[in-house]
Structures are given as structure tokens and as C-alpha cells.
């Protein structure tokens, strides 16, 4: 590929295709909107990257050329994404081999082999490296070439632990017959399989045509099978939407974002429509819009009274409209924090109405005054507005629809002062435009004055927003009352204003209290976001997870803190053997730095279940470390528990550094020998890295 630019390039002019997350045709980025005219729309395109790297905005010399670029890049990305595990690993190893071959003669001398080993994250002592080299250098030429490199690769990637498991079940002429494979599936993997299932697996995964013809599974075929997504740790049935989506909206945990417009921190970070696109593509279903008066009567979005940049309200609504339902069909809630004058509120209402059209819910579903929320299923493809409303929804069904002329309401989000007294002073009256008020149907913002008051005076659609500190106190001191409140109403939690770096709180105690809209800073890379991603990993990544039955019952006695007896108590014992790791990434860029990986397993859930255990590090090997260590956990409320596998690079002098992690719901674990995929800090898949484990869940005695 070729491009020209007036800029003097840095020395590195390339980037790997697998760093690209998407390619978009047209003036879709804020940079292109600001710096180009409408008539060049068809010539512009943007390349977006995984992680925090800025977009690359480009303009081709013709519309046809721009289309060719976009088509070609999309084809490359798609080919890479469709490689199977084996191909991904080989692709990665060959690219390292290419880099190691310094003089590009398609041969590796001993020093090039050493640098290759460092690239793939292994530090071997010189004697052992020399012995390995000599073993592979069959031609005694002092170089490895062709088949010698292949032999070297096979020695490196040979997995003893797979030999052992395979050897135990390969009872037919040194291969696995369908009957042998069925034994493995039923005994080890605890799967309800049939002989026909075993035959299908051999047909699909056996690479050797001779073995396949005889219905036999070789060791390579067995490894291919273990690497396929269906056989990995996450139950494949849970990858699709498998929960009942016909329950009222407030019976679900809803993936929710705070300050969605920010790319970084909330003092001086850039605001960008791209931040909404990223959150929506990650399955987020509740986004926040901080609206302020802008110039030319156009409302803007930014973090008020700070140096964060401003974006047009209408551009945000356009971006939301385009990307809302790409990752999930289920409804998106637009949480408005409204600081605009009545005039610009009318403009907001016009933009939402004209851009979102009939996807915007502006009247209750069905006939007459509703008594409960519609379900996610009924609201598919719809937008709900959360904000202030002048009157009760009931009033629009009576003759009193003349409506109170009073347009004063208090501003919804309290100020960022931690002090309650200060907060009271900072509430100011805000006038509300009728057009905007009328768009608020199922999510009317009100202040919270205690559970008793809410039960007596609040309608089901009236919801409070709680700052994290207040919410945490309620979740600890009145957990059962909070759960009962959330059986009837929605609750939204947002981070304290003191988190100027946009850090996050732990969402788990708030889910345990039945809170649905636990809003996190999606733009921040952290453990809390990993846990959020793990919670919403299942049910088709739809952004909606059905709460357990005992959290949807108004008479429930469930309390996550005291844990009295009840249907929620299903004491299980989780046995995990951490066997080995594969192709762990380097933490530092330096070629000579090799990771010393250690594994931690963390349980998140009710306080009685929270636990963390770690196993000792393996020194100087991130390529194929082996541990073979056992861990055991008691889990009392499995329906609310999450399991997180974390790999760190051990450092005796300072903090361990993050290598990769994977989090999933406890009830979505598959038993037996399983590969665990690993995600990087940004929550993106590390293409060839993984953990190999054995999982067993048994009922406690």
C-alpha cells in the first residue's frame, strides 16, 4: 500500500493490520468533519485502531480510490479475524521468524535464533540454546533453513501436557476412535455427547485425510479440536441470547457508561463522537450526554466547567443512530444531563426527533397508562430518553393535560462536591422545554428521599441517580431494601466527581443490590472495566443480563451481606488446575525483556465468595510456561459470581505488570480441560495467547 503526505515521516511508517479495529468511509471522524468540506465526503476515510491510538484520517484522490482502500483493508482485516487458533499462532511465529532473519537470507544463524527466542518471549540459557540449535542443524551448516526451521518450530511448540491427555484416550492403534473421543468428552469434559457428535468432531477437525477416512483422530486433530471456540472455557450456549428477554426492563443488569463523550480524563481530555461509537460497539446500552448551550443555537456536549473539548449534540445523536444496534438489537437509553436554556432544549428535541425518527419512544407502548416497564424484546431497536419531566406520565392520560405551566425543575445530577450541604446550595432551578419533557416516558429522573418515600410516592418509571458513595452505603447497610426497591424501579449509579482521572469503582456490590444501570467510565482501562466486560460477555453480548429470580421478587429475603438460607444458596466447590500458558505477550518493548508469568484467579460476587489465589511464577518463559498447580474456591451464590483469570509479569522490586486476563460468569464455565482466551488491557483479544486449565465444579458436601 502506498500513501503520500506533506509531513516528514517518523522512521516507523508501518503498522500491523491486526492493530486496526475498523475502517470507515466518509467524513465520519471529528477531525475530518472539522478540516474538510462536504463535497469531498466520498474521498475521505478513517482507519481506527485498537486501544488508545488516534485515528488515521485520510483523503484519496478520487472516490473510487477511497472505496478501493476501504474494501481492501476490510478484506485483510476479515481474513485475519477468520484465522483459526492454529493459523493465528503460526502467523505470529512466522512474523517473528521474518523479523529475526536480520540479513533476509531465509536462514537463521545461532545469534538470529537467540533473538527469535527472545522475540517469542523465551530466555534459554546459552548451553541449552546451543544444544537445541545443534539438534536442528542436521546439515551441520551452522544455519537452520527450510525443514530444519520447521523441525525447530515443532520442538518449540510441542506440548507435553497434550501428549499425556491424548495418550490416556488414544486406545485405537495409537489414535482416538469415535468411542475413545466419546469417553474423553463424557468423563473429562462432563458433556452430554453421543457417538455421532464424536464422529462429527473427527470429520471437522482431523487434518490428516487418511486418519479422517478411518474415522480416527490424531494428536494434531485433538489439539485443533481443543482450540476451537466451542471447546473453550466459555459455554457456547451462553454466547447467544439464551435468557428470557420478555421480562420488564428493570429486571435486567444493563451495560452502562458514564461521561460517554470522553476519550480520556474528565478535566482536559478530548470529547469525541468516536467515544460513543466505541462504547456502543462494546455492547453499552446506556450512554450519557452532558448538554450545554453552544454558539449558533446549536447545543454542545462536554464536561461543564472543565477544559474538555466540545462536540455538537446533533453529531453525537447521528453517531448514536448509526452505531446503536450494530452490537446488540436491544434498546439504548440516552441519559441526558441537561444544562441548556429552554431555547436550546427545543433544538435538542428537534434533533432527536428528526435524526432518531420513529425509533425514539415518545409515547408509552400499548393503550392507556402503563403499570410496568416494557421488556427489552418489545423495545428492540428503540431509544429511550432518561431525563427530567414536568409532570407525571399519568397526567397525559387525563383531561388535566393542560399541564402545569410551571416549567421549573431542579437540575438532575448533583454537583461534584462530596459535602451534602454544599450540594444542596448548588442545586439550581432549571427551566424545561415542553418538547423535551414530553420525550421522557419510562425513565423520569427524580431525587431519592429514602426507600419508604419511593414506595409511597414514586411511580414505577420515576428513577433516581445515586452517586457511588451513597449507593455503596445503601448496598452495605440496607441491601435487602435496595434489592426490593430495584424490583419495582430503575436505579442509576455514577462515579464520584472526585474521580477526575475517570477511574472506576467496583460495580459488583451494586449489582448484588439489584442496581441495573451501574455506569462506568468505558474510556478507562482498569480491572473494573474487565469485570464489567465479563458480566456482559454472555447472552449474545446484548448488554442486558437477566437478574436471578430472587432479585425479581418483591417479597425476597435475599441479602448478599448476611446470606440467610434461601434458593440463592447453592454452595459449590470450584477446583481449578492451572496447567500451562501459550504465547504470552511481552510487557516491555525491549527485545531482551522476557516475562516471568504468574497466574491469579479471582472470584467476584457476594462478600462471602470474594477471593483471590495465585500460583508461583515461571522464570524467563512467556512462550510455553508450565505450572500444574491446583487451586480451590468455595462459591455460595454462583448466580452472582464471576471468575477472573489474571496473568502478571512477576517483579520482585516493584508492582507486577499486567500481561492478560479473562473474566466470565461462574455459571458459564465449561468443565474439564479447557483453553482460556486472553484479553489485553483494552479488552481486545490477544490473538494467539492463552491459558490451559482443568476445571471441576462439585456440590459442597
154 contact partners, CB below 8 Å, separation of at least 6: none
CATH architecture for residues 17-82: Roll (2.30)
Query: Is 419 flagged in the annotation as binding?
Result: no
Is pLDDT at 260 greater than 60 in this prediction? Answer: yes
Query: Is 649 flagged in the annotation as binding?
Result: yes
Query: Is 388 flagged in the annotation as binding?
Result: yes
Q: What is the mean pLDDT of residues 521-530?
A: 94
Is pLDDT at 662 greater than 90 in this prediction? Answer: yes
Query: Is 651 flagged in the annotation as binding?
Result: yes
Q: Residue 488 is placed in which grid cell?
A: 419495582
CATH 3.40.50.180 fits 249-365+373-389+429-551, yes or no: no
Structural domain boundaries in the chain: 17-82, 86-157, 160-231, 249-365+373-389+429-551, 572-699
Is pLDDT at 79 greater than 50 in this prediction? Answer: yes
**Where residue 416 falls among pLDDT bands split at 50, 70, 90?**
very low
Is pLDDT at 650 greater than 50 in this prediction? Answer: yes
Q: Residue 417 is placed in which grid cell?
A: 462536591
Q: Which CATH class is domain 86-157?
A: mainly alpha
Query: Is 68 flagged in the annotation as binding?
Result: no
pLDDT at position 2 is: 56
Q: Which residues carry out catalysis? A: 258, 303
Local structure of residue 581 (DSSP, 8 states)? E
Tell me what percent of the residues of the chain surpass a pLDDT of 90. 68
CA distance 653 to 295: 54
What's the CATH number of domain 160-231, 2.40.110.10, 1.10.730.10, 1.10.238.10, 1.10.10.10? 1.10.238.10
Query: Is 465 flagged in the annotation as binding?
Result: yes
Give residue-wise pLDDT tens across range 241-252: 999 999 999 999
Is pLDDT at 158 greater than 70 in this prediction? Answer: yes
Number of other CB atoms surrounding residue 284 within 10 Å: 26
Average pLDDT score, the chain: 90
Instruction: Please check whether residue 532 is in contact with residue 507, taking contact to mean a CB–CB distance below 8 angstroms.
Output: yes
Instruction: Please check whether residue 345 is in contact with residue 294, taking contact to mean a CB–CB distance below 8 angstroms.
Output: no
Phi/psi at 492 (nearest 5 deg)?
-115, 135
153 contact partners, CB below 8 Å, separation of at least 6: 93
CA distance 384 to 392: 17
Which of 4-13, 91-100, 559-568, 631-640: highest mean pLDDT? 631-640
Same topology for domains 86-157 and 160-231, yes or no? Answer: yes
Q: What is the DSSP string of 485-535?
A: HHHHS-EEEE--TT-TT-----SHHHHHTT-SEEEE-TTS-SHHHHHHHHH
**Where residue 390 falls among pLDDT bands split at 50, 70, 90?**
very high
Query: Is 288 flagged in the annotation as binding?
Result: yes
pLDDT at position 420 is: 41
Query: Is 424 flagged in the annotation as binding?
Result: no
What's the CATH number of domain 572-699, 2.60.40.150, 2.40.50.140, 1.10.10.10, 1.10.300.10? 2.60.40.150
Amino acid at each position: 500500500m502506498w500513501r503520500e503526505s506533506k509531513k516528514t515521516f517518523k522512521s516507523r511508517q508501518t503498522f500491523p493490520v491486526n492493530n486496526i479495529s475498523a475502517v470507515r468511509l466518509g467524513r465520519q471522524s471529528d477531525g475530518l468533519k472539522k478540516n474538510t468540506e462536504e463535497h469531498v465526503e466520498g474521498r475521505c476515510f478513517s482507519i481506527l485502531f485498537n486501544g488508545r491510538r488516534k485515528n488515521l484520517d485520510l483523503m484519496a484522490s478520487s472516490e473510487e480510490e477511497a472505496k478501493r482502500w476501504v474494501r481492501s483493508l476490510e478484506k485483510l482485516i476479515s481474513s485475519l479475524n477468520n484465522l483459526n487458533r492454529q493459523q493465528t499462532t503460526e502467523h505470529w511465529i512466522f512474523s517473528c521468524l521474518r523479523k529475526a532473519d536480520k540479513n533476509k537470507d531465509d536462514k537463521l544463524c545461532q545469534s538470529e535464533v537467540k533473538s527469535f527466542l527472545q522475540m517469542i518471549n523465551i530466555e534459554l540459557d546459552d548451553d541449552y540454546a546451543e544444544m537445541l540449535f545443534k539438534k536442528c542443524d542436521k546439515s551441520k551448516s551452522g544455519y537452520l533453513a527450510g525443514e530444519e526451521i520447521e523441525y525447530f518450530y515443532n520442538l518449540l511448540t510441542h506440548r507435553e501436557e497434550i501428549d499425556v491427555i491424548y495418550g490416556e484416550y488414544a486406545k485405537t492403534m495409537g489414535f482416538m476412535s469415535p468411542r475413545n473421543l466419546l469417553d474423553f468428552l463424557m468423563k473429562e469434559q462432563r458433556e452430554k455427547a453421543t457417538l455421532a457428535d464424536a464422529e462429527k468432531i473427527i470429520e471437522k477437525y482431523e487434518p490428516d485425510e487418511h486418519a479422517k477416512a478411518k474415522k480416527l483422530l490424531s494428536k494434531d486433530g485433538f489439539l485443533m479440536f481443543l482450540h476451537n471456540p466451542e471447546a473453550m472455557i466459555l459455554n457456547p450456549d451462553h454466547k447467544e441470547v439464551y435468557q428470557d428477554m420478555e421480562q420488564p426492563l428493570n429486571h435486567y443488569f444493563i451495560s452502562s457508561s458514564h461521561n460517554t463523550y470522553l476519550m480520556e480524563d474528565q478535566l482536559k481530555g478530548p470529547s469525541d463522537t468516536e467515544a460513543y461509537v466505541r462504547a456502543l460497539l462494546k455492547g453499552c446500552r446506556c450512554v450519557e450526554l452532558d448538554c450545554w448551550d453552544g454558539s449558533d443555537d446549536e447545543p454542545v456536549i462536554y464536561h461543564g466547567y472543565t477544559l474538555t473539548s466540545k462536540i455538537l449534540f446533533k453529531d453525537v445523536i447521528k453517531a448514536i443512530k448509526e452505531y446503536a444496534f450494530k452490537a446488540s438489537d436491544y434498546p439504548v437509553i440516552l441519559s441526558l444531563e441537561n444544562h441548556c436554556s429552554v431555547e436550546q432544549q427545543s433544538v435538542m428535541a428537534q434533533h432527536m426527533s428528526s435524526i432518531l425518527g420513529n425509533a425514539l419512544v415518545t409515547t408509552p407502548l400499548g393503550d392507556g397508562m402503563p403499570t410496568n416497564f416494557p421488556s427489552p424484546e418489545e423495545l428492540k431497536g428503540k431509544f429511550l430518553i432518561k431525563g427530567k419531566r414536568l409532570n407525571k406520565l399519568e397526567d397525559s392520560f387525563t383531561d388535566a393535560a393542560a399541564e402545569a405551566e410551571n416549567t421549573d425543575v431542579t437540575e438532575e445530577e448533583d454537583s461534584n462536591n462530596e459535602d451534602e450541604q454544599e450540594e444542596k446550595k448548588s442545586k439550581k432551578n432549571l427551566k424545561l422545554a415542553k418538547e423535551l419533557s414530553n420525550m421522557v416516558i419510562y425513565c423520569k429522573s427524580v431525587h431519592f428521599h429514602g426507600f419508604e418515600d419511593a414506595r409511597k410516592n414514586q411511580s414505577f418509571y420515576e428513577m433516581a441517580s445515586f452517586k457511588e458513595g451513597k449507593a455503596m452505603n445503601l448496598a452495605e447497610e440496607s441491601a435487602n431494601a435496595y434489592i426490593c426497591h430495584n424490583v419495582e424501579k430503575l436505579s442509576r449509579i455514577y462515579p464520584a466527581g472526585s474521580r477526575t482521572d475517570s477511574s472506576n469503582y467496583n460495580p459488583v456490590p451494586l449489582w448484588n443490590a439489584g442496581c441495573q444501570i451501574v455506569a462506568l467510565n468505558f474510556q478507562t482501562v482498569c480491572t473494573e472495566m474487565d469485570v464489567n466486560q465479563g458480566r456482559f460477555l454472555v447472552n449474545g453480548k446484548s448488554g442486558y443480563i437477566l437478574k436471578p429470580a430472587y432479585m425479581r421478587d418483591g417479597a425476597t429475603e435475599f441479602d448478599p451481606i448476611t446470606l440467610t438460607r434461601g434458593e440463592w444458596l447453592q454452595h459449590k466447590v470450584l477446583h481449578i488446575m492451572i496447567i500451562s500458558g501459550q504465547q504470552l505477550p511481552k510487557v516491555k518493548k525491549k527485545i531482551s525483556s522476557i516475562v516471568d508469568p504468574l497466574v491469579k484467579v479471582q472470584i467476584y460476587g457476594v462478600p462471602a465468595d470474594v477471593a483471590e489465589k495465585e500460583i508461583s511464577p515461571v522464570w524467563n518463559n512467556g512462550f510455553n510456561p508450565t505450572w500444574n498447580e491446583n487451586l480451590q474456591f468455595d462459591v455460595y451464590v454462583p448466580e452472582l459470581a464471576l471468575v477472573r483469570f489474571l496473568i502478571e509479569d512477576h517483579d520482585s522490586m516493584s508492582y507486577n505488570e499486567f500481561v492478560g486476563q479473562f473474566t466470565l460468569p461462574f455459571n458459564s464455565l465449561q468443565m474439564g480441560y479447557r483453553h482460556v482466551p486472553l484479553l489485553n488491557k483494552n479488552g481486545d483479544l490477544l490473538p494467539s495467547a492463552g491459558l490451559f486449565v482443568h476445571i471441576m465444579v462439585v456440590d459442597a458436601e
